[in-house]
Structure 1
Amino acid sequence: MSLGTFTHSDALSIGVELELQIVSRHNYDLMPCAPDLLRLLEGRKLPGAVTPEITESMIELSTGICSGYADALAQLGEIHEALVEAARKLDVGLAGGGTHAFQHWAHQRIFDKPRFLQLSDLYGYLSKQFTVFGQHVHLGCPDADTALYTLHCISRFIPHFIALSASSPFVQGEDTGFHSARLNSVFAFPLSGRAPMVLTWQDFEKYFGKMMATGVVQSMKDFYWDIRPKPEYGTIEVRVMDTPLTILKAARIAAYIQTLGRWIQTERPFEPCEDDYLVYTFNRFQACRFGFDGNFVDPATREHRTLREDILRTLMRLEPHAIELSADGALRELLADVGGRGNDAQWLREAHTRERHLPEVVRQQSARWMSPMP
């Protein structure tokens, strides 16, 4: 089976997907209300879509094609308003965050959809443990080879995206010590990790054909890579982010990815090679475990610096591209996070230090997500 043609898309267009927690407003545990939420939203015209996820305590929103930060934020805002209205009718809460702080995986229900039931049969209890919540960003590429070049160049910034979005310090009632514990659940899947080092679509089709021949995969959906090409959309999809606590943060991270994409596609600053991945899993782990204070090894120079230093250095380098995309304001807000305000994992830990009660932490993070946009 061939992957087919890489669909044309507008270069540097973006799309944002967010997986959300559905929580009870009584005890703030997860609540299996996705079918009811979807029924309330049936027929409502939205700029994107709201769809089920693998368990009934999750829901996913996705924008349409966005030209940039302002467009993405506007679309997210409209979908956010519709979701909050539906949730209030059901007397449930919605929340960001990469993990729920104290839910137990065994209590989750698989959503009644053929693909989800198939995954449950294949992966067993891992499917319910996959009740974790992420942000995905699609980046438009003018052609297939540019998509693969962009994918491998942007892979060196995966630790940036993890540290900026990290919002999953708690798992099943315990502080894990990680900024992003969510990605530990993703690691368990056999087809997670990184894409193979191929730089032409012809070579990628050969790789995909070999994987098809093994019977292990049937489509690109079977790969849980950190970044994967999506030929049917003409994009690459960045998949490592935790769902932020606000749609403002989600839109800012999407703007960062778009700005990096513009720099990479216009200046072509790197020559990707297999050796770039020598430090990939080390850098990725450091971001998950320590956030901005993690150690980052430059894949080209082997220089060591903190992730904070590398993100700040990159944001400064991107300023002209951010201005061209009208994303400079969004990136300045990320700069403030890195420079001292901290990420969402820090916010959650500070809330727990104050309250000493995880249901109250979830109540506050739900209130934060459901509040009107400023």
Structure 2
Amino acid sequence: MTIEFRSSPTASLGVEVELSLVDRETRALTSAATDTLADISADGAEHPALKHELFESTVEVITGVCDTVAGARSDLEAGIDELRGAAFQRGVGLLCSGTHPFSSYRELQISPSERYHQLVDDMQWPVRRLAINGIHFHVGVRSGEKCIATVNSLTTFLPLFLALSASSPYWDGQDTGLASARTKIFEGLPTAGLPPQLHSWSEFEEFLDALIRAEAIESVREVWWDIRPHPDFGTVELRMCDGMPTMTEITGVAALAQCLVAWMDDQIDRGEPLPGVREWVVRQNKWLAARYGLDTELIVDDRGNRRPARDLVDELVDLLGDTAARLGCADELLTLRDLVRTGNSAERQRRIVAAGGSLVDVTTALQKELSTDAPLV
């Protein structure tokens, strides 16, 4: 099976953000996606930047192919503003987090798309539980071989992406004890989780061919790895992140994704080895990030030595400084230093409850953070 990788000449950037629709009075999830999107596209045509997701309580906002993080931010803000205006007329608010703090997946309606209904019919309970929201980052890569090498190395850094974005401590009205419950819920899908270490583009083609022949998947769209090659877009797609409540957080992590891929491209061109650790280290670090977020100490070598995640983020920002300056996203990358100090969304949500607030208050705060682009600390 031959799969064309539509190479990208530069480290272009695309971002996909899944937003929850909530009733502005009760703060609960509300099934308003179809009606709200119809209000925006009166002629019935699909909106280029606003899409249905699995549940009627979610809308995905996507960017075009952008050269810079600032361009991606502009696209996202335009889409969110348009969605917010239509949603407001229906008494609906918006928020972005890995899970809704108290609404139950049992009460949600599936979107009308035949694809989603087929997915539920095929996979049943693991799909019905997917009342979760994430953010995906696409970064352009110049060849399929470079894409495979980049995916292999980027896997080492996925726990840091998760620690920075973790925003799902609450699930179905309960504190899960995790920073990212979304991560563990999503892992219930048969092709979700960490990718295998592949050695070449041809091995990736063989892998997909086998799964399609076995009728396990229909296309690469059903390979829900935490990071995957996307042949049609010519990108590496990072799928590790929880939804993040502020645009500054989203664009800070977008800058990290774009810079890491571009830095690895330079390393490959210079013949330098890419960073990497054993599979067991990545797997354990992913668990540590899901459990503790930025408060964890991640394993940094095969001997089991550990270092604080916050320190590792600071060092990565330093490493990528020159790359960020070249890509025009130095300011966005530097915001990650603030994020490790103020805490990710999971930490901020728990502070509200620790101070006597309810989960309704948490949901109210998440809406406010999205609208004001200011973390409530």
TM-score range, shorter chain: over 0.9
The CA distance in 2 between the partners of 1:139 and 1:48, in whole Å, is 19
User: Tell me, what secondary structure is at the counterpart of 1:296?
Assistant: strand
Equivalent residues in 2 for 1:235-314, closer than 5 Å: 235-268=235-268, 269-271=272-274, 276-299=278-301, 302-314=304-316
Query: Which amino acid in structure 1 is aligned with residue 294 of structure 2?
Result: F
The answer as to whether partners of 1:46 and 1:79 remain within 8 angstroms in 2 is: no
Match of 1:334 in 2: 336
The CA distance in 1 between the partners of 2:295 and 2:282, in whole Å, is 17
Alpha-carbon deviation of 1:127?
Answer: 2.0
Equivalent residues in 2 for 1:26-105, closer than 5 Å: 26-42=25-41, 49-105=49-105
Q: Is 1:128 paired with 2:128?
A: yes
Match of 1:163 in 2: 163
Match of 1:14 in 2: 13
TM-score (norm. length: structure 2): 0.93
The answer as to whether partners of 1:277 and 1:299 remain within 8 angstroms in 2 is: no
The answer as to whether partners of 1:226 and 1:238 remain within 8 angstroms in 2 is: yes
The CA distance in 2 between the partners of 1:119 and 1:328, in whole Å, is 41
Alpha-carbon deviation of 1:204?
Answer: 1.2
Alpha-carbon deviation of 1:43?
Answer: 6.1
Alpha-carbon deviation of 1:179?
Answer: 1.1
The answer as to whether partners of 2:41 and 2:47 remain within 8 angstroms in 1 is: no
Match of 1:224 in 2: 224
- Deviations 1:191-228 (CA, angstroms, capped at 9, x unpaired): 11222222321121112112222221111111110001
Match of 1:367 in 2: 368
Query: Which amino acid in structure 2 is aligned with residue 56 of structure 1?
Result: E
The answer as to whether partners of 2:247 and 2:373 remain within 8 angstroms in 1 is: no
**Change in 2 beyond 3 A, CA 1:196/1:102:** same
**Change in 2 beyond 3 A, CA 1:69/1:164:** same
- Deviations 1:144-179 (CA, angstroms, capped at 9, x unpaired): 111111111111110110011111111111111211
The CA distance in 2 between the partners of 1:266 and 1:300, in whole Å, is 26
- After TM superposition, the structure 1 stretch with the greater mean CA deviation from structure 2, 3-12 or 233-242, is 3-12
The answer as to whether partners of 2:248 and 2:373 remain within 8 angstroms in 1 is: no
Match of 1:195 in 2: 195
The CA distance in 2 between the partners of 1:237 and 1:195, in whole Å, is 12
Query: Which amino acid in structure 1 is aligned with residue 37 of structure 2?
Result: L
Match of 1:186 in 2: 186
The CA distance in 1 between the partners of 2:275 and 2:370, in whole Å, is 38
Query: Which amino acid in structure 1 is aligned with residue 5 of structure 2?
Result: F
Unaligned residue ranges in structure 2 (runs of 5+) = none
Match of 1:107 in 2: 107
The CA distance in 2 between the partners of 1:24 and 1:363, in whole Å, is 11
Query: Which amino acid in structure 1 is aligned with residue 348 of structure 2?
Result: W
The answer as to whether partners of 2:100 and 2:171 remain within 8 angstroms in 1 is: yes
Match of 1:177 in 2: 177
**Change in 2 beyond 3 A, CA 1:42/1:355:** farther
**Change in 2 beyond 3 A, CA 1:3/1:35:** farther
- Deviations 1:114-165 (CA, angstroms, capped at 9, x unpaired): 1100111012132221010000000100111111111111111101100111
The CA distance in 1 between the partners of 2:118 and 2:84, in whole Å, is 31
Alpha-carbon deviation of 1:48?
Answer: 5.1
The CA distance in 2 between the partners of 1:336 and 1:159, in whole Å, is 19
Q: Is 1:23 paired with 2:22?
A: yes
The CA distance in 1 between the partners of 2:2 and 2:101, in whole Å, is 39
**Change in 2 beyond 3 A, CA 1:347/1:3:** farther
The answer as to whether partners of 2:281 and 2:302 remain within 8 angstroms in 1 is: no
User: Tell me, what secondary structure is at the counterpart of 1:93?
Assistant: strand
Match of 1:137 in 2: 137
Query: Which amino acid in structure 2 is aligned with residue 220 of structure 1?
Result: V
- Deviations 1:71-97 (CA, angstroms, capped at 9, x unpaired): 111111111211111111111011011
The answer as to whether partners of 2:267 and 2:274 remain within 8 angstroms in 1 is: no
The CA distance in 1 between the partners of 2:106 and 2:146, in whole Å, is 43
User: Tell me, what secondary structure is at the counterpart of 1:100?
Assistant: coil
What value does the CA root-mean-square deviation take over the aligned residues?
Answer: 2.1
User: Tell me, what secondary structure is at the counterpart of 2:278?
Assistant: helix
The answer as to whether partners of 2:246 and 2:373 remain within 8 angstroms in 1 is: no
The CA distance in 1 between the partners of 2:160 and 2:123, in whole Å, is 30
- After TM superposition, the structure 1 stretch with the greater mean CA deviation from structure 2, 317-326 or 225-234, is 317-326
Q: Is 1:352 paired with 2:353?
A: yes
User: Tell me, what secondary structure is at the counterpart of 1:109?
Assistant: coil
Query: Which amino acid in structure 1 is aligned with residue 273 of structure 2?
Result: F
Query: Which amino acid in structure 2 is aligned with residue 23 of structure 1?
Result: V
The CA distance in 2 between the partners of 1:212 and 1:177, in whole Å, is 38
The CA distance in 1 between the partners of 2:13 and 2:199, in whole Å, is 22
User: Tell me, what secondary structure is at the counterpart of 1:225?
Assistant: coil
**Change in 2 beyond 3 A, CA 1:12/1:270:** same
Alpha-carbon deviation of 1:239?
Answer: 0.4
The answer as to whether partners of 1:47 and 1:75 remain within 8 angstroms in 2 is: no
